[in-house]
Every structure is written in C-alpha cells, then in structure tokens.
Amino acid sequence: MNNVYPAFNYQQMIELHHNNAAIKFLFLPYMAMGEEVIAALRMHPEVVIIAQSNHDNRVGEYRGMIQEIMTEGLTNPVVIFMFQNENDKEDMQLKAAADMGALIFDGLCDGIFLLNQGKIGIEEVDATAFGILQAGRVRTSKTEYISCPGCGRTLYDLQDTIAKIKNATSHLKGLKIGIMGCIVNGPGEMADADYGYVGAARGKVSLYKKKECIEKNIPEEEAVNRLIDLIKKNGDYTEK
Ligand code: SF4
C-alpha cells in the first residue's frame, strides 16, 4: 500500500513548492505529520490533504490527524481516503459508511475518496461514495424521499403512492420530496423538502413547493400527475 501511496517525503515537499497546478493533492498518513510537513502545509493552504490510514482503528487515527491539523491552525481541505479490497458489495458499503459516515457527521472532512480493488465495479463504488455523502447530508445527488410511517390519520394509500412517486421521479437529481399521510404533522415533518405531497382530506391531496401550499384538495387519482406537473413547471424535471 505504501508503495502505491507513499508517505510524505522530501521529494514531495520540493514538488509542492514547484508545482503550479490549480489544485494539488497530498497523500498523507498521520505518522508522516512532522514539523517540516506542517510548515509546508502552512505555506501552501491550497494543498488538499488526502488523509491516509491503514490502522486497525482508522477512524481513531483520522480523528487524531484532523485534531492535529486543527490544533496547528492549518486550513488545508481534508479528504478522507479509504482503501478496500472487498469482493462483496454489502461488505464494501458497510465498512465505508461506518468509517466515513462517522467523520462526516462530526464535520471533520471536506471530502471522501473511496478506492476498492476487489471485484466490485467502479459504478458501485461511485454510487456508494455518493450515497454516503447524501446520507451524511453534505451532498445531495439523487432524489430523496421523506415520508411519514403512516398511522390512523393517513388519508390515502401511502405505500402505493410512495411507489408511484418513486417510479416517476427516482431518476431526478438532488430533489427532496416529502410524502405525508395527513395535514396534522405532515408540513412540519417535511419542512426541508423541495416538494410535498400531503393528505388534505379523505381521498384529497395538497401539493407544496417548499413550505408553500400550491394546490389544495386535488382528487387522489390525479395527485401524482399533478405533482409531476408542478415539478416540471418549476424546471426541476428531466425526462427519463
Ligand atoms: S404525518 Fe399524519 S398520517 Fe403521517 S404519521 Fe404523522 S400523523 Fe400519521
């Protein structure tokens, strides 16, 4: 591993000073963070640190490294690098999400870099990385659905409606759609959604754009199509 992604050394420091690229990346393990490295990073705040760890407790080591970066007052962006050698997609996803998710939720990194050299396609690895960023609420790249679990107050067939809305919108990028069974708690629970589909009365639905109610009491049979029309009218829809 260290042969592929070498620790910071004198040659790299020379390259840092003489490299005129707009963005510079530096692979950096915690153990390599000596005085010279810290001084070089202070002189080059544009350098993006690719934090690297092979420790058994990677999260602990990353935390230690970022703590030191903060203590030194360095402002270089930090990307967490994770190398895996998994052949099972679920194993890759769980390990990446557990390690990187913890650091994202604590606000300790500016990006993630996931590399898997097992038999999992690059598309799956990319999808996992984007999924982790979206779950960590730092980058939304696919449609997200916020729905209530349903209860005695639900005013329409929630499961069937969720399936229809997903079928019509899952290809869109970066939208949040709230699907709520009733008006009592619905608008409050989906407060950060871009669009909302909320039960208004038995068999009737109201549609929201952000927090504003745009259409009231639409018959349930028409409501999914009217939601799509509303998304189109606001320029947020692309054809499949
Ligand atoms: S939003 Fe309404 S229907 Fe959904 S769980 Fe809350 S109270 Fe029940």
Q: How far is CA 112 from the centre of its chain?
A: 10
| Ligand 1 atom with the shortest distance to the CA of 183 | 2
> pTM for the full model?
0.72
Consecutive H or E run containing 178: strand 176-180
The domain boundary residue, chosen from 91, 111, 135: 135
Question: Cα–Cα distance between 57 and 152 in angstroms, integer?
Answer: 46
Identify whether residues 109 and 150 lie together within a single domain. no
Identify whether residues 110 and 198 lie together within a single domain. no
* pLDDT value at 33 more than 60: yes
- How many domains in the chain? 2
Question: Cα–Cα distance between 126 and 114 in angstroms, integer?
Answer: 8
Q: What are the distances in angstroms from CA 9 to CA 15, 53, 208?
A: 10, 16, 56
Identify whether residues 118 and 179 lie together within a single domain. no
Helix, strand, coil shares of the chain, percent, nearest 5, are 40, 25, 35
206 within 8 A of 217, measured Cβ to Cβ: yes
183 within 8 A of 170, measured Cβ to Cβ: no
Mutate to test the pocket of ligand 1, among 146, 148, 198 (most ligand atoms within 8 A of CB): 148
Identify whether residues 194 and 129 lie together within a single domain. no
* pLDDT value at 57 more than 80: yes
Identify whether residues 166 and 57 lie together within a single domain. no
Give the closest residue to 180 by CA, choosing from 200, 210, 209: 200
Q: How far is the CA of 155 from the centre of ligand 1 (A)?
A: 9
Identify whether residues 21 and 113 lie together within a single domain. yes
Closest-CA residue, ligand 1 atom 8, reads 151
Question: 190 CB under 6 A from ligand 1?
Answer: no
- Structural domain including 80 reads 10-135
> Which pLDDT score is estimated for 82?
94
Closest-CA residue, ligand 1 atom 6, reads 185
> Which pLDDT score is estimated for 23?
77
Residues 31-59: what's their mean pLDDT? 92
Identify whether residues 121 and 55 lie together within a single domain. yes
